[in-house]
Chains A and B, each alone.
Chain A
Amino acid sequence: MSDKPQNIFAKLGIDTRLLGMIGALVVLWILFDFVTGGRFLTPRNIFNVSVQTASVAVMATGMVFVIVTRHIDLSVGSLLGFIGMTVAALQVHILPDILGGGHWSIWIIAAIAAVVMGAIIGAMQGWIIGYLTVPAFIVTLGGFLVYRGAMWWVTQGQTVAPLDPTFKLLGGGADGTLGETLSWGFGVLASLAAVALILMSRRRKSTLGFAVKPVWAETVLIALASGLILCFVWIMNSYPIAKGALPRIAEARGIELTDGMTLYHGVAIPVVILLVVTVVMTVVSTRTRFGRYVYATGGNPEAAELSGINTRLLTVKVFALMGALTGIASIIASARLGSVDVGLGTLDELRVIAAAVIGGTALSGGFGTIYGAVIGALIMQSLQSGMATSGVDAPLQSIVVGLVLVLAVYIDIVYRRKIGN
């Protein structure tokens, strides 16, 4: 019995849902790689998918909290556009007049403005939902229209470009990466952190006399975690920079360019941002009181209230957090494109909700994980990017994504029924 695969995974402490999602992702990747004749699983494509996933995945982590507390946010796409346009106008039309063009602090001010603006608007929506008790569906549906309209007002519909050069690095691209050396450093640091976390948790549990995983399981976990991180860094570090961009990148990195020399991309900055957001949001969801109250409120709002949790204020905080994350996503999305037009963020709300739901967040509330939402976003993006690479035309892409969403939720329902949730 103990040799059954389920038991091995149980001993490793990896839940079947995570396993299922990773399995789906791997199948998808191999399938697309086969269909495209080996063009999918290349460093170049993996780099692009990782960058394209970042913006939606950052928002999806916040959407987990929103959905777990039995709400929904339909406004994130429009809000992303509104923030993007405002911050673009700020760094192109306003700040250069005050500080002088190309001032070093422009990107910092712009980035902070994006996050603060998102948090304030989110908090306002949360206040209407929590204190005035207007349903989130309606409030954010209103927001969906309001922000898209407000976005047009900022510049009377004109596209704003070009964005501040340093700001653009936050969107990835050949310039916006850590470079090879820093990427390795980042990978090693992340691996060490993962190992430290696993070991610390084990020590605490054993001092309290709880059962701990067998040593071999812990070793496998550590090897898996650090192996995955370093493998990703290695792939990113094998994606060469195009010849035309070499002199520019070499100068930016302070490298003397010699004949026949190749430089590689390394981990893209938006991916670093996504990883930091994922770690922070995971800690918030599992290790803070706020996170605990989010899940308790989603599981039983009345019980949460009776336990002394201020669920109204909690709603404000959840939507403020969602707004702040939309601000971060807006930085990534606008910086990646280098310009902002009135279409920025269109349909993103649906991608974000789909990512969270594919990642196992239950619309009935109470259940959902941050890593699930990030993997959900990755699945969505892989699907879209894979179909585009395989030459599937746009209408069929929509149809497939739509069907996959429904299928994923159905599988999730069956799974929950089986494990008795």
Chain B
Amino acid sequence: MIKLTAIEKVYRTSTIETLALDNINLEIPKGEFVSIMGPSGCGKSTLLNVMGLLDNPSKGAVEIDGMEISRYSDKKLARLRNQKIGFIFQSFHLINDLSVLDNVEIPLLYRTSTGRSRRELAKEALEKVGLSNRMKHFPSQLSGGQKQRVAIARAIVGKPEIILADEPTGNLDSVMGAEILNILLQLNQEGATIAMVTHDEQMARKTNRLIRLFDGRQVS
């Protein structure tokens, strides 16, 4: 589903050059749930961004579902993200000015769909994460765990095949964290391919495979 070949990512400023990813070769087959671990600053998020087509690698090739994307235009990449990938972030990134339902609808805005079908799908996604009673609320009225569930609903509303989660439980207490992990496991059961960055060894152990990074290199 996701294939990275000889990926290198270099950040350059006028004075310094940082190698964030160094020769990463990785293949995640369809339906697998992998977790990515490593100390802070080792390139976990960068790796996830490269997989999610949010950041271009300096070298190497990214394949999503068999498509090599290095020559894709901004528009084509956007369409691919929209159709294939759902994102979940540590700090939720909900839009505070929009209601829960409007937040969840966002990915569908960039597809051809009617208002009514968007509503239906968004409601369905919220039901799945157990928040159908909070649709009219605004993010500021929700707890951390609820916000992350809204973010998950937003990630899955477009029925993407890939879910990329960047420390989805990092801002939550252990009970909430476990709850979020269960939802992700459930989505994986239903067929989603998931890559999750985490600091929590216990959680990582519940996934199919654990990838460790150190200083931009894959160590296991």
Partners in one complex: no
Binding site for B on A (CB under 8 A): none
Residues on B facing A (Cβ under 8 Å) = none
